[in-house]
Amino acid sequence: MRYRTLGIQVTNRCNMTCDHCITESSPRARGDLAWEQIEAAIRSAAPHVDGVCVTGGEPLLRKDTTIRTIRLTRCLGLRSSMVTNGYWYRSAESADRVCRELDDAGLQKLAVSFDRFHDRIVSSSSLDRLLAAGARTSICFQLQYCGDRDDEAYRIATAAAKRYGVELLSSVVLPFGRGRNLATRSSVSVATVPDDPCGVAVRPVLTPEGELFTCCGPARGAAGNSPLRLKVRDAGYVGDALSAGAVDPILNVIHVHGPHALLKRLHPATQERVAERLLDSSICSLCRSITDDEHAVHELSTALEEDRIRLIALSAAMQVAQDQTAART
């Protein structure tokens, strides 16, 4: 399994308190990654990842550290990206200034969260200001929408994405972090969970608490012995933790086949217990239900051991195919 990006969560703080936030960021949240931790993590991870994504919280609340992180990423020859709530594009002048600074630092991709939960900045005019400023840079923009597609914010995002030729990614609210209050269902059937592979198992993230998770959102808060928690002594050992995770058969099954494939390997009694813990019908919920269960993890580790090499090879082949497809589009 080859990692796409290492997420560097520079801060837990955010200037907003969104109801769907997986990281439960807010103006009151505390926790920052020190520059020494960031530099050690990126240098350690560089041989194992294709890029670095700066995230939060809101990373531009620590703009100097964020810019410095982007510069180091580009210096090491890695792809650089960032996720922002876009609070800073309320005026054309601000949008232009920040976009230029990020472009000068070497940022290649900027993902902007835009949905009704960001109610203080959701408007067609504000999004136009941002995308117009971005069009004057070399940065590739992406809009990330979370929520129902019948919402007005989705219409605005769709129209803007078409108008400026930028990618729009749409997702549902997941039952993790603050989103648990919105997405948790009282009755869920395993049969309604999509039988899909996981695209984010190759996007680990280092948090301000020094924890390293194998995906960029739902893994946060995983059980202590979960395979979604990559064991790391300190930031300088991130590369070693990624190397170990890359050959973990459970993680490779999640990446290549998805959590349904794990479920099928479990004893019927374990399957039933896992099913009872589902929070919604997402593959993320099924993944957490399985990997948070210590006995399920033990069963899977034993069952998958003989398939370790084959799973690693399948994961590598799938990523080559994905790279080839991306290159043609």
Q: Could you read off the pLDDT of 172-224 as tens digits, one per residue?
A: 999 999 999 999 988 899 999 999 999 899 999 999 999 999 998 899 989 99
Going by pLDDT thresholds of 50, 70 and 90, the confidence category of residue 170 is very high
What stretches of the chain adopt beta strand conformation (E)? 3-9, 49-55, 79-84, 109-113, 140-146, 167-171, 205-206, 212-213, 229-230
In angstroms, the CA 209 to CA 196 distance is: 31
Residue 50: strand, helix, or coil:
strand
Our CA dihedral for 211, 45, 77, 103, rounded to 10 degrees, sits at 0
- Tally of CB atoms within 10 A around 29: 17
Give the amino acid at 324: Q
Residue with structure tokens 């300088």? 236
Has this prediction a pTM greater than 0.85?
yes
Element (H, E) at 288: helix 283-291
- pLDDT of 233-280, one tens digit each? 999 999 999 999 998 999 989 998 999 999 999 999 999 999 999 999
The pLDDT value given to residue 309: 60
Q: Is 106:100 a contact under the CB 8 Å cutoff?
A: no
259-262 own/partner pairs: CB under 8 Å, 24+ apart = 259/193, 259/198, 259/283, 259/286, 259/287, 259/290, 260/193, 260/195, 260/286, 262/287, 262/290, 262/296, 262/300
Q: Give, to the nearest 10 degrees, the angle between helix 268-276 and helix 294-304.
A: 140
The pLDDT value given to residue 217: 82
The pLDDT value given to residue 180: 93
- pLDDT of 40-84, one tens digit each? 999 999 999 999 999 999 999 999 999 999 999 999 999 999 999
For residue 295, what is the DSSP state?
H
pLDDT at 328 over 90: no
Q: Is 203:7 a contact under the CB 8 Å cutoff?
A: yes
> What is the token pair recorded at 83?
């996720």
pLDDT at 119 over 70: no
Q: Is 172:147 a contact under the CB 8 Å cutoff?
A: yes
Cis peptide before 177 (omega within 30 of 0): no
The pLDDT value given to residue 318: 57
96 CB-side CA count, 13 A:
4
